[in-house]
Amino acid sequence: MPQDDDEDPRNGAVEANDHAHQSPLKKPRLTRPISEPDILQEFSHHQQGFARINNGSFGSCPRSVLSAQNTWHLRFLQQPDEFFFNSLRKGILESRAAVKALINADDVDDVSLVDNATTAAAIVLQQVGRQFADGSFRKNDAVIMFHCAFPAVKKSIGAYIGPAGGSVVEVRLPFPVRSNEEIIAEFKKGLERGKINGGRVRFAMIDHITSMPSVVLPVRELIRVCREEGVDQVFVDGAHSIGSVPVDVKEIDADFYVSNLYKWFFAPPAVAFLHCKNSKGLVDLHHPVVSQEYGKGLALESSWVGNRDYTPQLVVPSILEFVNRFEGGIKGIMKRNHDGVVKMGTMLAESWGTMLGSPPEMCASMIMVGLPSRLCVTSDDDAMSLRTHLRVYHRIEVPTYYQALRNEDRDPKDKDGFITGYVRISRQIYNTDEDYHRLKNAINQILEDGKICSMLPVE
Amino acid sequence: MDSPTTNNHNHIHTHHLNGASTISQPSKKPKLLSSSFITPAEIHEEFSHHDPSVARINNGSFGCCPASVIAAQHRSQLHYLRQPDNFYFNELKKGILQSRTIIKDLVNAKHVDEISIVDNATTAAAIVLQHTAWSFHEGTFQKGDVVLMLHYAYGAVKKSMEAYVTRAGGHVIEVPLPFPVASNEEIVREFRKALERGKSEGKRIRLAVIDHVTSMPCVVIPVKELVQICREEGVEKVFIDAAHSIGCVDVDMEEIGADFYTSNLHKWFFCPPSIAFLYTRKIPKGGSELHHPVVSHEYGNGLAVESAWIGTRDYSAQLVVPAALEFVNRFQGGIEGIKKRNHDAVVEMGEMLAQSWGTHLGSPPDMCGSMIMVGLPTSLGIACDDDALGLRVHLREQFGVEVPIYYRPPRDGEVGCVTGYARISHQVYNKVDDYHKFRDAVNQLVNNGFTCALLSG
């Protein structure tokens, strides 16, 4: 059926190149940057007529990359043994080398590819747990993280640190936030709390860009503070970062840095990189799924965790090709996304009479925008109802956030009351201003109709 | 919503990328209600993406996936990409539960709670053994308590034992198995001896890890009998690593009676890579639960729910079990018919090869499923694992035959014995020509005076 052929991005790329074989860093001759119609075509498999302003959760993948992925998949299906013995390892190494160059890592051995940041967190936290279990870290030592760390990561800390005897210090993220200094001050207080029982803070889990509420944290400064305080290991959860902020692992200087490539770097679901500073010195870092590669270093262990579909890990060179079709490459994309999301966030805040959750310089390709207090977002359920209502009735996908009042002078207000709800809008290359006007109008319509969250139909 | 099972669309997924070959779905609508079954021509079309120049007699390693199931997978992937939030909130959980329910019925488990879907048997082994390690750390198990496994356990599982059991203070005992093997009794005898060894130091045997179908050399193990012996001898838990079994041998959880059982659906059940199930027998409330090592917000909700969400990933291979079942039911006798025909054919082909080469089979027909070990002529001079691998590569590159080769070291006192075996498989896409091609390749090598020693030159 022609309709399906048009929709299925596996039916050939916009440009029919054999992406699987080109050298990772070779920039194609850029005769002209990719055009608007080309961009639309690359994302024509997205649901049409839908304002997709939640790139943060599941990311997005253009047709050319999906097509490259399919080429790899087909090669495996044609002759899997030959693929396994002759192509797979090479292909993964090429992808890792491409990532190494992208993030300014010293050694490709330090770069592992895993499914996602959730997996990387399990890997790193298991290792921390073992250090508590074997006594390298003592029972009254602590692990520090932000209270808004991603839920999976919080559970992972609960699973691997708690039972092993470590205690956890949570740092409350000031939100809405005005400056990096507010965050650093809270973090320093948290570090002090970690020393209360006479122990040390052994491990710090720091988001590069928090998920909800979304703010870009001053990771370099926070890590400097950690080093000054003698924190043994710092793990940066940069799930959102690659493709939305510059990532230079040498400069950031964390012990572990993870970022998902499928969120902002156009990879298909799902692949992430985990960079481990000086991995050769880490004898006890392992992928929990043990294969014949056990003991050869995390990068090799991760490259074979039993028979699976490794195609998402193989397309990094193809992604670079895609990204380099844009003016300024990934840097240009990041800048335009940032400028666009700030402009649209400001537009929404003005229309609704609210405000932004952070200053523009503390956001990348996502920004938090306050929702009018009249909507009465009084719980997580209210926030979810609003999100569902927007999806079903207004064809808008945008994540919502509820934050209870903290009874401080700083509780945000609009002319009608206190602001307790926010949307996290994102901007990626497939978005147009129309998407955000649609959101603006939808909220204004709900208000005009006199509805509040708990009254909104969701089916 | 377009369910992955709907076969109403005539998809042709052609690739105009440098002449890459196509994956196409058969142009006829499958007749779901009539008594006519899938035809040889339709089978050929379903596997037309296989490299036609290769005699593909290694279904055991990477399995196979028919075009209609691949198409179902593509539809599922497309559906996700189109609007991932909606997919996550409204479709994913339902789809995984549907797959788990089908598997539960296929393997005769009592409750769908007992069926978790994971990537592969390697992952399942890590889940079970990580739990064992935790029991040692907690003190539930004492240092030196025993975990038993077969000598022919899969390489990854052996490493997993090292990483999780030995490292945690457990004592691993390997059960040596004879190969070639003549009867189940030989295996049972060795197993009992190993159990005795395990109990002899007064330690408890906490876990026995038993293959249902060993990988290399490939033999069907009498698991039901071994599980019974374990129960009699006070082995606390039994984990069956049945990577190959579903679609290849009979799989019945109530019959077999193990505590944990895993099998890959992408080997012999026509699913794309990758999907496996891990069966965990229901334990009384308060018993220690298994966990998926990748912790998500579902942590603590039971292994099945944990495994259904381990962060953003492509879950499509786990969602096409209905499509695989539909495919299987186009065959006479469904999966049972397929298993029987595969078995009969691989035995017949194995005997044909053994006769042509003047060798023998590695096990009697009743100890094999859809794969069988066939002795290779001694003149080939397979003297080590590297030789076996080298011969395999040589057969692939020079003769277009894909078949895994096993090096079987001579035992004390053995002279001039067969040291190399080929593990041939039969799946629905195979033709007699595949095995003739292999037969002729080996005969040619023998006639040319080929030995493996020549490969390392």
Q: Which residues of A touch B17 (CB under 8 A)?
A: 12-13, 16-18, 67, 71
CA A178 vs. chain centroid, Å, equals 22
Contact between residue B179 and residue B123 where contact means Cβ atoms under 8 Å apart: no
What is the least distance, in Å, from the CA of A301 to any CA of chain B?
11
> How many residues in total does chain A contain?
459
How far away is chain A from the Cα of B61, in angstroms, using its nearest Cα?
A: 8
Integer Rg of chain B from CA: 23
Rounded Cα–Cα distance for residues A48 and B55 (Å): 45
Across the interface, of A45, A85, A290, the residue whose CB is closest to B156 is A290
Q: Which of A217, A214, A241 has its CA nearest to residue A367?
A: A214
DSSP percent split of chain A into helix, strand, coil, nearest 5: 45, 15, 40
Grade residue B287 by pLDDT with cuts at 50, 70 and 90.
confident
Whether residues B274 and A306 touch (CB distance < 8 A) is answered with yes
Radius of gyration from C-alpha coordinates of chain A:
23
List CB contacts (< 8 A) between A397 and chain B: 83, 85-86
Chain A, window 363-392: residues with a beta carbon less than 8 angstroms from a chain B beta carbon:
388, 391
Query: Taking 70 as the threshold, does the pLDDT of residue B28 lie above it?
Result: no
pLDDT at B319: 98
Cα gap B429→B439, rounded to integer Å: 18
pLDDT in tens, B292-310: 999 999 999 999 999 999 9
How many A/B residue pairs have CB atoms within 8 Å? 218
Mutate to test the interface with A, among B262, B295, B298, B313 (most CBs of A within 10 A): B295
Helices and strands in chain B: count of H runs, count of E runs: 17, 14
Residue B33 confidence (pLDDT): 56
CB contact under 8 A, B58 and A81: yes
Mean pLDDT score, A106-127? 97
For B395, the closest chain A residue by CA position comes to A82
Cβ-based contacts of A10 with chain B (< 8 Å): 13, 15, 74
Beta bridge partners of B280: B260
Domain over A329-455 is classified CATH 3.30.2390.10 = no
Query: How far is A423 from A414, CA to CA, in rounded Å?
Result: 15
Interchain pair A46, B83: CB under 8 A: yes
Whether A80 and B295 lie within 8 Å, measured CB to CB: no
Q: Which residue of B has its CA nearest to A163?
A: B138
Chain B nearest C-alpha distance from A306 (Å): 6
Q: State pLDDT tens for residues A381-407.
A: 999 999 999 999 999 999 999 999 987
How far apart are the C-alpha atoms of B86 and B96, rounded to whole Å? 15
- Measured distance CA(B30)–CA(B42) in Å, rounded: 10
Q: What is the pTM of this model?
A: 0.93
φ, ψ for residue B204, nearest 5 deg: -90, 150
Residue-wise pLDDT for B85-119, tens only, equals 999 999 999 999 999 999 999 999 999 999 999 99
**Is residue A12 predicted with pLDDT exceeding 80?**
no
Find the farthest-apart pair of alpha carbons in chain B and give their distance in angstroms, rounded.
Answer: 67
Q: Please report the pLDDT score of residue B15 as a whole number.
A: 39
Q: Say if strands A256-260 and A272-276 run parallel, antiparallel, or are unpaired.
A: antiparallel
The minimal CB distance from B274 to the residues A1, A85, A309 is found for A309
* Each residue's pLDDT tens digit, A256-292: 999 999 999 999 999 999 999 999 888 899 999 999 9
Assess whether the region A90-323 and the region A329-455 belong to the same CATH fold: no
Average pLDDT over residues B61-82: 98
CATH top class, domain A90-323:
alpha beta
What value does the mean pLDDT of chain A take?
Answer: 93
Q: What is the pLDDT of residues A218-247, one digit of tens each?
A: 999 999 999 999 999 999 999 999 999 999
**Are B367 and B219 spatial neighbours (Cβ–Cβ below 8 Å)?**
yes
Reported ipTM: the value is 0.92
CB A20 within 8 A of CB A74: no
The predicted pLDDT at position B202 comes to: 74
- Residues in B closer than 8 angstroms to A50, CB to CB, are 83
The domain ranges of chain A are 90-323, 329-455
Q: Where are the alpha helices (DSSP H) in A134-280?
A: 151-160, 180-194, 219-228, 249-252, 261-264
CA closest to A384 among chain B residues: B89
Asked if the Cβ–Cβ distance from B159 to A290 is below 8 Å, we say yes
pLDDT tens for B394-417 read: 999 999 999 999 999 999 888 889
